[in-house]
Structure formats: C-alpha cells, structure tokens
Amino acid sequence: MEKEIKLFLDFIQNDKKLSDNTLQSYKRDILQYEEYINKENIDYINISLTDIQNYVKFLQKNAKKSSTISRNLASIRSFYNFLQRTKKVGSNPVEGIQSPKIEKKAPSVLSSQEVELLLEQPSNADLKGIRDKAMLEFAYATGMRVTEIISLNIEDVNFEDGFAVCRTSTKERHIPLGSMSLKALKSYVDSARPILIKDIDKNNALFVNINGKRLTRQGFWKIVKLYKDQAHISKDITPHVLRHSFAAHLLQNGAELKAIQTMLGHSDISSTQVYMQFQDESIKNVYRKAHPRA
C-alpha cells in the first residue's frame, strides 16, 4: 500500500496541481487511514463497505469533527478512484458511504472597532513592527488567505496602480489595496524589508521573518495572536477571521456580492453568500431611511 500511496500523491501533485496545504491534507488523511487498516489487519484492495463504515465510527469515537470526517472520506474516495484508474481495484468502496452532515456555522467576524484596535498595535519603532503593521493592514485590505499572502513575491504588488496579484494553480486575481494598506506596505518595503533580507537579489518573498526567510503560516498565526492579546480582544482571532471581516465589512458598506466573490477567489457564489447574514442590519437601516412607510 505504501507504494500505491506514493504514486497517488505524486499523481495529485503533478496532474491536479494542488496547493501544498491541500496536498498535505490528502497525505495526512491517507496515512491515517493506512495506519488504521494495518492495525485492523484489513486488506486495502479487498476492503468492504462495512470496513469503511467502521473507520468512520473510529473517527467519530476519536471526537473528529464532521468536517474532518468528510474530508477524510473525500481523500480516501480519491485514493480509490486512482486505484480504479490504475486497475488495482474494480470498484470504489467509499462510493456507498454518505458523508456526515456538516453544520454550517456563521463565520467569526470582527467589528470595525476591533479591527482598528488590532491594526493599531504594531509599533513603527522597529523593523518587526513595521513589517507586522504592513502585514495586518494587507491581510484586512485584501481578504487573501494566509497561504496566498505568504506566497506573494515583491513583484506581485503594483505600487503605482495600488493592487496586488494573487496567483493560484488555476487562476489569477487582481485585488485593490486601500490607501492605509499601501502606505504601510511602502514603508515596510522601503525601510524594513531590505534590512531583514540578507541577500536581496536572491530573495523575492514579499513578507519575510526576522531571519530574512519567507514567512511561514505558523509565523503569521503567531503574529496575529500576539497583537490580539496585546489589544485585549476577547474573540479568537486567526488570519482567516481577518478574511471573513474583510468580506463582511465590504458587504455592510454596499459592495456587490459578485465583486466580493471575485476578490475572495470563490469559484462558487454560494461560498460568498454566507456573508449575507451580516448585511441584515445595514439593510434595515437603509429600509428605515428610505421607505416612506417605515
């Protein structure tokens, strides 16, 4: 099975052009599945529907969330689809398994006041503070995912026209930068980044750590948590909360849903519609002001 897993991971990496994060998720899911069936002495080629159902029960007993179980099943289903294509199995044992229902929770969103408080925390007194200010302003201004932000290169920012280019394996999107974000970014690029980077000719990463290397996801998360604690904000804030806040605040201030979908990079409008719930109060205010019988 180890050989087949390697071939499968090579296939999805080369043929499907998945991001590193997605690839790592597939790998974790499949290796966990392999560990389970080895422990239970199950032949992965001749595995039954009942065996898969028992694996789902095993995940549930280990307090895995419905979303995690659904992702696991999707990974295993893809693995057996690959085995079908390579003639290793005749059918996919996961096809008869229904994924557990995922409860759609409202995304966590900061108020405008909380965002202001968070963005005020970094100090311009040192290189790290200048970088952190630019990074937080950029995250809130663009709504980019943390992986997209840390993958950016210096040439992906057009300072003259005020936009950033976000590239994924399948598409490219241009996202405007607000004046506050552009100002903080220029300050960082002009005064802090050249000092942080040891060899500026060989490192084109936009955001770097104090060692001059490209910033990591973990590094980004730690920075957000540091300033969240410093601001004494009780809400749990992650880089994705800034993305949610970006979308919700745009909608509250009159932006069209289709434009927000484009900026977020959602392929399906239904993913963007989750933010409609945050529009309720602004709609009521418009109604009260504009309707003659309000």
Give me the active site residues, please. Answer: 243, 287
Distance CA 220, CA 3 (A): 35
Element (H, E) at 8: helix 2-15
The tokens describing 76, both together, are 């295993």
The tokens describing 51, both together, are 């065996």
Tokens 């659904």, located at residue? 70
Among 22, 102, 103, residue whose Cα is nearest residue 69: 102
Q: Are 204 and 154 in contact (CB under 8 A)?
A: yes
